[in-house]
């Protein structure tokens, strides 16, 4: 049959991965539905052009809104289990707003740079766009991402619920160092206080060293203007650090000589340790990974070949290596990394696997270029206790049942 010939021309087909025997019932199901699609669409005129694109009507994956008493203080989660590659579509970038999304006219918006500088400056968005810019791929991850892992695993938790507070985009903006040099940094300045224009005036203190290193005032996201949910028209983008410090709807950068102990760095975003002390200014996101396919809520369609795929990232630089276990963490093998592997960005890993139909657990662990190894939940809790809400980077397990169901499990 034509279908068989086509398939045997692909590399995978020649290597026998997609033989009906290994694919199980999937091959028999896929072929007829493909032909029906050709008959239906083949001879009639298709849809027309349009000013702003939309995805296929057959695609339905969505952000999932995390419940909150106040809609404006809510968050939504990226459907990691449905994504390919490394870039998160802007429309699916997770959201975390403490006081809702302000509706800002870029023509009215201003960024003030003041405090311990020689020349306080005010920039319009147009003026910022005249400044030397860079484009970089970075993840943004809420430090609360993975917080469900402080509690024992619930079987129904999927990748979106457990890890959907990370997203990765191509950001364009002006390095903060360029703006601060323009203003003239006074020698007594050691911190930068960044403030948002939303109703809560979200404010964080940023060490000046980091500000002069790689922080951006970003106005572009995946080729177009930053989405309102991500901070339109301007956001701070602090690569590799907890999402909370990347102030959206940015309106002020003030240089000061000490951290300002704001709400977000005292009452919130600190980690309570077993001895009752709280870790503070835990900025850097630790190395992390999650298998996204197959993952919670998926169902394997019988024994055979499945390519395992997932995402890894670290706030300490590049992902050096990802290891995958298909036996619940007893043995680990190296996964392939999709290049180019960019620092402080999501990295796609893949691992070829043949399921023999027996019950097992899949897991992945990330090792970053600093040598930081993603820990098991037990070893993380041995150091950090369970009173923390933030910064949990424990290894994620997915239990494959004999019936092909995939469930959340601790490894
Ligand atoms: N002004 C302002 N900036 C903000 C927030 C906010 O509520 N207001 N939320 C912070 C938090 S907690 C996170 S995790 C990130 C989320 O960025 P995103 O909504 O673009 O994913 O933005 C941060 N910056
Ligand atoms: Mo956050």
pLDDT by residue (tens digit) across 203-249? 999 999 999 999 999 999 999 999 999 999 999 999 999 999 999 99
What integer is the mean pLDDT of 261-275? 91
The answer to whether 115 touches 255, Cβ cutoff 8 Å, is: yes
Which of 65, 91, 142 has the most ligand 1 atoms within 8 A of CB, as the residue to mutate?
Answer: 142
Residue 323: helix, strand or coil by DSSP?
strand
Comparing 17-21, 101-105, 357-361, which segment has the lowest mean pLDDT? 17-21
What integer is the mean pLDDT of 170-183? 98
Expressed in angstroms and rounded, the spacing between residue 277 Cα and the centre of ligand 2 is 22
CATH topology for 65-279 is Sulfite Oxidase; Chain A, domain 2 (3.90.420)
- Rounded Cα distance, 22 and 305, in Å: 6
The answer to whether 126 touches 155, Cβ cutoff 8 Å, is: no
Who lines ligand 1 at CB under 6 A?
Answer: 93-98, 140, 142, 167, 196, 198, 202, 229-230, 243-244, 246-249
- Rounded Cα distance, 392 and 344, in Å: 17
Which of 243, 389, 391 has the most ligand 1 atoms within 8 A of CB, as the residue to mutate?
Answer: 243
To the nearest whole percent, how much of the chain has pLDDT over 70?
Answer: 90
At 325-339, the pLDDT tens digits run: 999 999 999 999 999
Q: How confident is the model at residue 267 (pLDDT cuts 50, 70, 90)?
A: confident
For residue 142, CA distances in Å to 244, 258, 271 come to 6, 24, 14
Burial class (CB in 10 A: 0-12, 13-18, 19+), 228: middle
Closest protein CA for atom 6 of ligand 1: 97
Comparing 31-40, 45-54, 200-209, 399-408, which segment has the lowest mean pLDDT? 31-40
- Looking at residue 69, its pLDDT comes to 76
- Looking at residue 71, its pLDDT comes to 76
Q: How confident is the model at residue 43 (pLDDT cuts 50, 70, 90)?
A: confident
- Looking at residue 70, its pLDDT comes to 77
CATH topology for 288-409 is Immunoglobulin-like (2.60.40)
Which of 246, 251, 252, 267 has the most ligand 1 atoms within 8 A of CB, as the residue to mutate?
Answer: 246
Closest protein CA for atom 20 of ligand 1: 230
Name the average pLDDT for the chain: 91
- Looking at residue 39, its pLDDT comes to 53
At 303, list the tokens. Answer: 């024994």
Per-residue pLDDT for 28 more than 60?
Answer: no
At 291-313, the pLDDT tens digits run: 999 999 999 999 999 999 999 99
Comparing 29-43, 285-299, 393-407, which segment has the lowest mean pLDDT? 29-43
Per-residue pLDDT for 192 more than 60?
Answer: yes
- Looking at residue 38, its pLDDT comes to 52
Per-residue pLDDT for 3 more than 60?
Answer: no
Expressed in angstroms and rounded, the spacing between residue 263 Cα and the centre of ligand 2 is 13
pTM of the model: 0.91
Expressed in angstroms and rounded, the spacing between residue 263 Cα and the centre of ligand 1 is 14
- Looking at residue 13, its pLDDT comes to 43
Expressed in angstroms and rounded, the spacing between residue 96 Cα and the centre of ligand 1 is 5
- Looking at residue 14, its pLDDT comes to 42
What integer is the mean pLDDT of 72-79? 91
CB atoms under 10 Å from CB of 146, counted, come to 23
- Looking at residue 66, its pLDDT comes to 82
Domain definitions of the chain by residue range: 65-279, 288-409
Region of 362 (left: φ > 0; alpha: ψ -120 to 50; beta: rest) is beta
Proximal ligand: closest to the CA of 204: 1
What integer is the mean pLDDT of 396-407? 98
Ligand 1 closest atom vs CA 142: 14
Catalogue the long-range contacts made by 272-277 (C-beta closer than 8 Å, 24 or more residues apart).
272/385, 272/387, 272/388, 273/384, 273/385, 273/387, 273/388, 274/384, 274/385, 274/387
Expressed in angstroms and rounded, the spacing between residue 145 Cα and the centre of ligand 2 is 8
CB atoms under 10 Å from CB of 192, counted, come to 26
- Looking at residue 12, its pLDDT comes to 45
- Looking at residue 18, its pLDDT comes to 57
Comparing 65-74, 107-116, 123-132, 396-405, which segment has the lowest mean pLDDT? 65-74
Closest protein CA for atom 24 of ligand 1: 247
């Amino acid at each position: 049959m034509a279908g068989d010939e086509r398939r045997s021309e692909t590399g995978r087909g020649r290597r026998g991965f997609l033989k009906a025997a290994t694919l199980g019932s999937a091959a028999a199901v896929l072929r007829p539905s493909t032909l029906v699609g050709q008959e239906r669409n083949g001879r009639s005129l298709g849809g027309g052009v349009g000013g702003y694109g939309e995805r296929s009507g057959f695609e339905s994956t969505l952000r999932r809104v995390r419940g909150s008493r106040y809609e404006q203080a809510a968050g939504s989660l990226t459907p990691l289990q449905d994504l390919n590659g490394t870039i998160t579509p802007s429309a699916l970038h997770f959201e975390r707003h403490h006081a809702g999304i302000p509706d800002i006219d870029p023509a009215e918006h201003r960024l003030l740079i003041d405090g311990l500088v020689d020349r306080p400056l005010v920039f319009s968005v147009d003026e910022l766009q005249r400044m030397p810019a860079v484009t970089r791929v970075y993840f943004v991850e809420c430090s609360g991402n993975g917080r469900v892992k402080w509690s024992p695993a619930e079987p129904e938790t999927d990748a979106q619920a457990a890890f959907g507070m990370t997203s990765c985009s191509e950001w364009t903006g002006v390095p903060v160092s360029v703006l601060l040099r323009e203003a003239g940094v006074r020698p007594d300045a050691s911190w930068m206080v960044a403030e948002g224009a939303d109703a809560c005036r979200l404010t964080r203190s940023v060490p000046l060293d980091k500000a002069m290193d790689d922080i951006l005032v970003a106005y572009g996201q995946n080729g177009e203007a930053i989405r309102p949910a991500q901070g339109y028209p301007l956001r701070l983008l602090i690569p590799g650090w907890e999402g909370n410090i990347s102030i959206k709807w940015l309106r002020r950068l003030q240089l000061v000589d000490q951290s300002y102990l704001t709400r977000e760095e005292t009452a919130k975003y600190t980690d309570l340790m077993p001895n009752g002390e709280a870790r503070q200014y835990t900025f850097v996101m630790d190395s992390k990974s999650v298998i996204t396919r197959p993952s919670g809520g998926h169902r394997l369609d019988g024994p055979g070949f499945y390519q395992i795929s997932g995402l890894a990232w670290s706030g300490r630089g590049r992902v050096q290596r990802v290891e995958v276990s298909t036996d619940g963490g007893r043995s680990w093998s190296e996964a392939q990394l999709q290049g180019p592997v960019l620092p402080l960005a999501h990295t796609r890993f893949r691992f070829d696997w043949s399921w023999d139909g027996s019950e097992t657990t899949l897991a992945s662990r990330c090792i970053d270029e600093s040598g930081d190894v993603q820990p098991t939940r037990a070893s993380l809790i041995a150091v950090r206790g369970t009173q923390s809400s933030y910064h949990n980077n424990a290894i994620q397990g997915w239990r494959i049942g004999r019936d092909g169901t995939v469930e959340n499990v601790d490894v």
